Amino acid sequence: MQKAYIRASPNVPEYSRTSEWNDEASTLKTICQGDLYVVGTLWIQAMRSVLVGANFSIFPTVKAAAPPGAAPAKPPPMKYKDLPIYESPHYEYKDYVEDKKKNPRANIKLAHQYLYPKVRCFRREWTESFLELKKDFGEIMSDACAHFCKKKKEFKKYMRDSENMAVRQAVVAFGSLTGYYVGSGRGIPRRLFCTSLGALAAGALCFPKETDEIFREVSYRAAKTALALFNTTCGQNITMRERLPCPRDMPTLCAERPPGNKCPHNTPPAK
């Protein structure tokens, strides 16, 4: 229409018509080449206002929660003259502390809350591993002790067998020579003591009963001789109790007693 109007006006100069046409073209071009997002937003807002109202939201929006109010700070001690009239900071702080204590997790430390489960799990696994290791070690030690005791009994039985007399005598001789070698070069008393100790140890292994009898007899004779020398030197009269025989060394007089509690060995012969 504008174009037809311009053409129908014969009195308008040619340069004015061209300028107006260029202005109209640039305006339409600017509108058509504008920001499509802005144009679309304006169009949607206009259509929404006309159809459903301005407060209706087509797309739901999620808003972040408002940050909680800052915790009240502990007020400094004040005199009653300095207390505010319309505020009660002390009561507010007291209520805040009480509300905080009502929370069951208020007294739980942050490090305790996050580290304690991991530490507890680690301690449980470590304890279970230690108990298993202790159990295995105990079984190994029990087996080793049982095997050692078994071999010890077998060795003692072999060394005390009457059929191995030559081996037993050789072991006693070897023990005596070992004691002599250990005590050699340090005086006759020490050499005699070490030789006796080696022979005693080897004899206790191979000849336990004979070694015990010899040791008791030698100890008794040595003590008696030393006591006699002491009495002679000091003019004393100390006596030593005589040795009593062991019950196993005493002969059995009567194994079975006849009726009447009489021993058959003491019964006079019948005439």
- For 78-96, give the DSSP string: --TTTS-SS--HHHHHHHH
Residue 248 reports pLDDT greater than 80: no
Predicted confidence at residue 4, as pLDDT, reads 43
Name residue 195's amino acid.
Answer: T
Q: Is 162 helix (H, G, I), strand (E, B) or coil?
A: helix
pLDDT interval class at 19 (50, 70, 90): low
Rounded CA-CA distance 139/157 in Å is 27
Please, is 206 exposed, middle or buried when counting C-beta atoms within 10 Å of its C-beta (0-12, 13-18, 19+)? buried
Distances (CA, A) of 47 to 41, 51, 56, 147, 223: 10, 6, 11, 99, 132
Predicted confidence at residue 133, as pLDDT, reads 95
Predicted confidence at residue 12, as pLDDT, reads 46
- Strand intervals (E) in the chain: none
Residue 55 reports pLDDT greater than 80: no
Among the listed residues 200, 218, 209, 195, the one whose alpha carbon sits nearest the alpha carbon of residue 162 = 209
Please give the mean pLDDT across all residues of the chain.
76
Specify the higher pLDDT residue, 110 or 138: 138
pLDDT interval class at 127 (50, 70, 90): very high
Domain ranges of the chain: 2-51, 73-106, 108-159, 162-241
Specify the higher pLDDT residue, 83 or 66: 83
User: Model pTM?
Assistant: 0.42
